[in-house]
A and B are shown apart, each in its own frame.
Chain A
Amino acid sequence: MRSEKEVNSMKFLKNMFSSRVNSQTAIEQEEKLSKSLDENLNRLKEAFSYPNNEDFKVRELYIENIHRKAVLLSLNGMVDNDAIEQHIIHPLLEGTNIKETEEVDLIKKVITSKNASKVSSLRKIIDDILIGNTIILMENYNQAISIATTKFSHRSVQPSTRETVLKGPKEAFIESGDVNTSLIRKRLRDENLVSEKIVVGERSLSKVSMFYIKDIANPELVDRVRKRIKQIKADTVMEIPMLEQHIEERSYSLIPTVLYSERPDRAVSFLQEGHIILLMDSSSSCLIVPVTFWSLFHTPEDSYERWAYGNFIRLIRLFSFFIALLTPAIYIAVTNYHIEMIPTDLLFAIAATRERVPFPSVVEVFFMESAFELLREAGIRIPSAIGPTIGIVGALILGNAAVEANLISPILVIVVALTGLASFTIPDNSLSFLIRIMKFVILGAASLYGALGIVVSFICFMAYMSDFKSFGVPFLSPMAPYYKSSNDLILRPPIWKQWLRPFYTDPEDDIRKKEPEGER
């Protein structure tokens, strides 16, 4: 399996390298190894700027049984030294079953490593070294042995920090492709789960693994995403958030077209609905395409909790979605344009405290909302050692002091705190940004036109959302436009009634299980 993948990616490497104009080394594509060990070694040393490049390790051996010199080449930091020691050097030096007279086949008989192949092209050898293989060159031999010994350091699997749940699995993706693959395959033991490796970047090569379930995901969609990734014209695509920006279709849009998640369980549930997952070796998150509003709005917890509880938290989040988006705008509209809407007691309380505030209420709101955003940004940037201070300072400034100093009226603290709190309930970071920015837009409209402004801007927002598409899938589907689905939208039916896959991804196999009979 693995070697097949490797071969696949090698092809790619070749392609990419052939298209490169500024090849640093003078090695031509088709240049073969010669029989002279020294000549071969010198070519490679030159290619890797040895001895200036100290990471290029050259280990010379003498294999006694066959009376030949051999050289091991590898790049420090990319290889597993233990494995080299145990599976390559040890068998070569101590190997008793190598007989001088026979045609030596080291791969078959001596080297105990699981992946090894023969290579004869110099270019290929360099590429192999770059992905972490160890190369053995032999005297009087015009072929080299390339052994997979790749090992990068990475942390161990840890609990998810951005998408926390109370009920359900805790583990999150980490910065290792192999571990991430295992996290996915652990949950989805399906022979139809395909992982394609696509190489992106023109200078530094990185691999994107594209996961999909062959008999569920729509082939056109798979093609579309594959094409999109291959189209990327960039020097390097270092991390998955950058890949997100490379593959998204509308760069200037506020609405995200890709879901960024660090939860393998989430990735798997999307796979089963015919979505595509993208992973990179170096990133601790995955990308899910295509997305709808609902995939941004839902959390895994909604499904893990029992029907009533899951729906309860969804309703709370829906409510806070509107609070976060509209509260400041409604406050401004009501206090400036629709005074008759406020109960007289509240009106008098606001008017009494506002009497000593020197600014118009719009200025007050913008001031406080900006202060809150500032606090939020500071909370992320601040080193965690001095983190707690931000809470104290923020609470003092926003809460009490501003009111005491008659800069703002007390009710505004409630408005801003409520908006802030509500914005924290939004599960997805991109969606949260969308709402925080739209909040200011709608606030601006409300301060100019009152409720009319809110209504018009909100309608425009909704119209844009319903027109928006992520990889061909309408953003608000399957609600608008309507497609058949399990109705897992604002509320969700009990788990056993969710027998349909959403039709918006046009899945090959649209039924999860047989329709349940009757009510249980």
Chain B
Amino acid sequence: MRRVKLLLILLFLIILLTGCFDKSELEELAYVIVIGIDKGEVNGFEVTYQIGNPQVGSSDRVSAGKEPASEIITLTVPDLVTVRDLANISVSREVTYSHLKVIITGEELARSGEAFKLFDSVLRDEAIKHEVMLIVSKEKASEFIRGNEHELETRPHKHYDFMSRRWEETGLVPDATLLRFIPRTLDDAGLFLSTYATAKKGETIYGYEDQYLAGQVKKEGGNPIQMIGSAVLKEGRMIGTLNGEATKVVMLLRPQTVRRSMLASYADPLVKGQRIAARWMKTEPTRIKMNLSTDIPKIDVVVPIKMMILAIDSGIDYVEDLERQKILKDSIASSLERKSMEVIKKTQQEFKGDPFQWYLIARQQFWTLDEYKNYDWMKKYPRAETNVKYDIELTNFGRQFRPFNKEDIKD
């Protein structure tokens, strides 16, 4: 009996002694919400932290006086891991990435291709959410972070949470997360699209609602940032940009992406110069067929879209006339097909890579992984013959039945 008791005590001690006593309490941590990475002036990297302040806007019980909602510091360091300790030269708490929302890379660093290595070290170090968004900023990341004045959501994490939720719907920027970036880059068969953003006003142009790149939209007031379009990364290195429209097309052509309600406008087929605004939804996956038996891949893509016509500027009654509806459908389909072909051509000629994740489908055509690797999709894709069809279904015409008759208003 004494032996048993002794053993029990020893067991209890072992349990106690092997416990994790290096844990830290919630309030002892500094939560980095945004990391910005730039090339250092001489060498190394400039890492910018935006650290959320839990005491601001979280609970009515805590009044934090005039504390700001977040703190932004920039340090020059050799990598993203050691900086966590170095940050404590001015930050009073242990830095953690556990609630990281966004990693912003300056365009300069992105074009150099060194960012990929950095992400690897972050993943290795501690539990980090894989839904972390990847943004490439036109200017230096530190400038973008400091320039982002999200006044309606004082707390930065809320701002980026809401932003990403809207992006899923609008499709003006790609769904770029760390979770996708690493495997896509390692697959080494396609291009990765990352969100493109700027906090600086560039040369503004006028285009239709999505034909912009970040910084080109004429906008007054509000938060100075603009996030639209995408940065194209090949093998972890940025090689170009796509504007909002092209990004949207890429999203449509991808096999799996399903998007709910995006708004877009199209030329009215019956009256020149007028446009028709529509809300469209892609509720089914894209149907992609491939023939890889020859050296030149043949790709047939059919994109099913459901469309809801919302605004008819010309006042032509498409609602009650099936003939006109057919014309409208054909015209929208052909304009989308034309745009798609333009984007495909651009990726084939300029980027020489496939941002559509078609390689996932191509991979299915082979019996073994080796066969697929020997085929080398990256090399073959630029020569592929593609054929894109849009299968449009007009589901409804909004809450109004027929457009207002302008003649009625005149008298």
Chain A residues with Cβ below 8 Å from B275 are: none
Q: Are A354 and B27 in contact (CB under 8 A)?
A: yes
Question: Does A347 belong to the interface (CB within 8 Å)?
Answer: yes
Question: Does B129 belong to the interface (CB within 8 Å)?
Answer: yes
Question: Does B42 belong to the interface (CB within 8 Å)?
Answer: no
Question: Does A283 belong to the interface (CB within 8 Å)?
Answer: no
- Once A347-B26, A448-B20 are accepted as A-B contacts, the answer to whether A352 and B59 lie under 8 Å apart by CB is yes
- Residue with the greatest number of chain B CB neighbours at <10 A, chosen from A340, A356, A403, A450: A340
Chain B residues with Cβ below 8 Å from A349 are: 54, 58-59
Q: Which of B1-50 contact A (CB under 8 A)?
A: 15-16, 19-20, 23-27, 29, 31, 33
Q: Which of B36-85 contact A (CB under 8 A)?
A: 52, 54-55, 58-59, 61-62, 64
- Residue with the greatest number of chain B CB neighbours at <10 A, chosen from A335, A340, A351, A361: A351
Question: Does B148 belong to the interface (CB within 8 Å)?
Answer: no
Question: Does B161 belong to the interface (CB within 8 Å)?
Answer: yes
Secondary structure of the B side of the interface?
A: loop
Tally of A-B Cβ pairs under 8 angstroms: 84
Q: How far is the CA of A338 from the CA of B158 in the complex (A)?
A: 21
Question: Does B99 belong to the interface (CB within 8 Å)?
Answer: yes
Question: Does A420 belong to the interface (CB within 8 Å)?
Answer: no
Question: Does B254 belong to the interface (CB within 8 Å)?
Answer: no
Min CB gap A382→B, angstroms: 32
Question: Does B155 belong to the interface (CB within 8 Å)?
Answer: yes
What interface size band does chain B fall in?
20 to 34
Chain B residues with Cβ below 8 Å from A340 are: 98-99, 127-129
Q: Are B31 and A448 in contact (CB under 8 A)?
A: no
Q: Are A350 and B129 in contact (CB under 8 A)?
A: no
Q: Are B29 and A339 in contact (CB under 8 A)?
A: yes
Q: How far is the CA of A353 from the CA of B31 in the complex (A)?
A: 15
Q: Which one of B25, B54, B96, B127 lies within 8 Å of A336 (CB-CB)?
A: B25
Q: How far is the CA of A155 from the CA of B380 in the complex (A)?
A: 94
Q: Which one of B16, B20, B29 lies within 8 Å of A450 (CB-CB)?
A: B20
Q: How far is the CA of A274 from the CA of B399 in the complex (A)?
A: 67
Q: How far is the CA of A449 from the CA of B18 in the complex (A)?
A: 9
Chain B residues with Cβ below 8 Å from A347 are: 26, 31, 54, 99
Q: Are A335 and B99 in contact (CB under 8 A)?
A: no
Q: Are A337 and B20 in contact (CB under 8 A)?
A: yes
Q: How far is the CA of A365 from the CA of B195 in the complex (A)?
A: 44
Q: Are B25 and A335 in contact (CB under 8 A)?
A: yes
Determine the residue in chain A with the shortest Cβ distance to B15.
A448
- Once A352-B59, A353-B62 are accepted as A-B contacts, the answer to whether A339 and B96 lie under 8 Å apart by CB is yes
Determine the residue in chain A with the shortest Cβ distance to B19.
A448
Question: Does A379 belong to the interface (CB within 8 Å)?
Answer: no
Determine the residue in chain A with the shortest Cβ distance to B160.
A344
Q: Are B54 and A448 in contact (CB under 8 A)?
A: no
Q: Are A350 and B26 in contact (CB under 8 A)?
A: yes
Q: How far is the CA of A504 from the CA of B246 in the complex (A)?
A: 68
Chain B residues with Cβ below 8 Å from A348 are: 31, 52, 54, 58, 155, 157
Given contacts A352-B61, A355-B54, 6 further A-B contacts (CB under 8 A): A335-B25, A340-B98, A344-B158, A352-B59, A353-B62, A361-B26
Chain A residues with Cβ below 8 Å from B29 are: 339, 351
Q: How far is the CA of A335 from the CA of B98 in the complex (A)?
A: 12
Chain B residues with Cβ below 8 Å from A355 are: 27, 54-55, 62
Q: How far is the CA of A348 from the CA of B29 in the complex (A)?
A: 11
Which residue numbers of B lie inside 8 Å of A, CB to CB? 15-16, 19-20, 23-27, 29, 31, 33, 52, 54-55, 58-59, 61-62, 64, 96, 98-99, 101, 127-129, 155, 157-158, 161
Question: Does A241 belong to the interface (CB within 8 Å)?
Answer: no
Question: Does A410 belong to the interface (CB within 8 Å)?
Answer: yes
Which residue numbers of A lie inside 8 Å of B, CB to CB? 335-340, 344-345, 347-356, 360-361, 403, 410, 447-450
Q: Which one of B19, B26, B129, B157 lies within 8 Å of A449 (CB-CB)?
A: B19
- Residue with the greatest number of chain B CB neighbours at <10 A, chosen from A344, A356, A361: A344
Determine the residue in chain A with the shortest Cβ distance to B52.
A348
Min CB gap B267→A, angstroms: 44
Chain A residues with Cβ below 8 Å from B31 are: 344, 347-348, 351
Q: How far is the CA of A128 from the CA of B23 in the complex (A)?
A: 72
Q: Are A339 and B20 in contact (CB under 8 A)?
A: no
Q: Which one of A335, A356, A403, A410 lies within 8 Å of B26 (CB-CB)?
A: A335
Chain A residues with Cβ below 8 Å from B98 are: 339-340
Q: Are A356 and B62 in contact (CB under 8 A)?
A: yes
Q: How far is the CA of A356 from the CA of B55 in the complex (A)?
A: 11
Q: Which one of B61, B96, B127, B161 lies within 8 Å of A344 (CB-CB)?
A: B161
Chain B residues with Cβ below 8 Å from A350 are: 26
Chain B residues with Cβ below 8 Å from A345 are: 58, 157-158
Chain A residues with Cβ below 8 Å from B127 are: 338, 340
Min CB gap A149→B, angstroms: 53
Q: Are A352 and B55 in contact (CB under 8 A)?
A: yes
Chain B residues with Cβ below 8 Å from A449 are: 19-20
Q: How far is the CA of A337 from the CA of B27 in the complex (A)?
A: 13
Q: Are B20 and A351 in contact (CB under 8 A)?
A: no
Q: Are A352 and B157 in contact (CB under 8 A)?
A: no
Interface pairs (28), CB distance under 8 Å: A336-B25, A336-B26, A337-B23, A340-B127, A340-B128, A340-B129, A344-B33, A344-B157, A347-B99, A348-B52, A348-B155, A349-B54, A351-B26, A351-B27, A351-B31, A351-B54, A352-B58, A352-B59, A353-B62, A354-B27, A355-B27, A355-B55, A355-B62, A361-B25, A410-B61, A448-B19, A449-B19, A450-B23
Chain A residues with Cβ below 8 Å from B23 are: 336-337, 450
Min CB gap B65→A, angstroms: 13
Q: Are B25 and A353 in contact (CB under 8 A)?
A: no
Q: How far is the CA of A361 from the CA of B25 in the complex (A)?
A: 7
Q: Are B99 and A344 in contact (CB under 8 A)?
A: yes
Q: How far is the CA of A361 from the CA of B64 in the complex (A)?
A: 22
Min CB gap B225→A, angstroms: 20
- Residue with the greatest number of chain B CB neighbours at <10 A, chosen from A338, A339, A350, A361: A339
Q: How far is the CA of A350 from the CA of B29 in the complex (A)?
A: 12
Q: Are A360 and B20 in contact (CB under 8 A)?
A: no
Min CB gap A243→B, angstroms: 28
Min CB gap B265→A, angstroms: 36
CB-based closest 10 A-B pairs: A448-B19, A351-B54, A348-B54, A340-B98, A348-B58, A352-B54, A349-B58, A354-B27, A351-B26, A352-B62
Q: How far is the CA of A393 from the CA of B157 in the complex (A)?
A: 40
Min CB gap A348→B, angstroms: 4
Chain A residues with Cβ below 8 Å from B62 are: 352-353, 355-356
Q: Are B20 and A354 in contact (CB under 8 A)?
A: no
Q: How far is the CA of A339 from the CA of B32 in the complex (A)?
A: 13
- Once A348-B52, A349-B59 are accepted as A-B contacts, the answer to whether A354 and B26 lie under 8 Å apart by CB is yes
Q: How far is the CA of A294 from the CA of B155 in the complex (A)?
A: 49
Q: How far is the CA of A347 from the CA of B55 in the complex (A)?
A: 11
Q: How far is the CA of A351 from the CA of B26 in the complex (A)?
A: 5
- Residue with the greatest number of chain A CB neighbours at <10 A, chosen from B25, B58, B96: B25
Chain A residues with Cβ below 8 Å from B55 are: 352, 355
Min CB gap B314→A, angstroms: 47
Min CB gap A369→B, angstroms: 18
Q: How far is the CA of A345 from the CA of B155 in the complex (A)?
A: 9
Chain B residues with Cβ below 8 Å from A403 are: 61
Q: How far is the CA of A316 from the CA of B157 in the complex (A)?
A: 35
Q: How far is the CA of A337 from the CA of B21 in the complex (A)?
A: 11
Chain B residues with Cβ below 8 Å from A352 are: 27, 54-55, 58-59, 61-62, 64
Determine the residue in chain A with the shortest Cβ distance to B55.
A352
Q: How far is the CA of A450 from the CA of B23 in the complex (A)?
A: 10
Q: Which one of A344, A360, A448 lies within 8 Å of B25 (CB-CB)?
A: A360
Q: How far is the CA of A353 from the CA of B158 in the complex (A)?
A: 19
Min CB gap B103→A, angstroms: 16
Q: How far is the CA of A46 from the CA of B45 in the complex (A)?
A: 107
Min CB gap B94→A, angstroms: 11
Determine the residue in chain B with the shortest Cβ distance to A403.
B61
Q: Are A353 and B16 in contact (CB under 8 A)?
A: no
- Residue with the greatest number of chain B CB neighbours at <10 A, chosen from A335, A345, A352, A353: A352
Chain A residues with Cβ below 8 Å from B25 are: 335-336, 354, 360-361
Q: Are B19 and A339 in contact (CB under 8 A)?
A: no
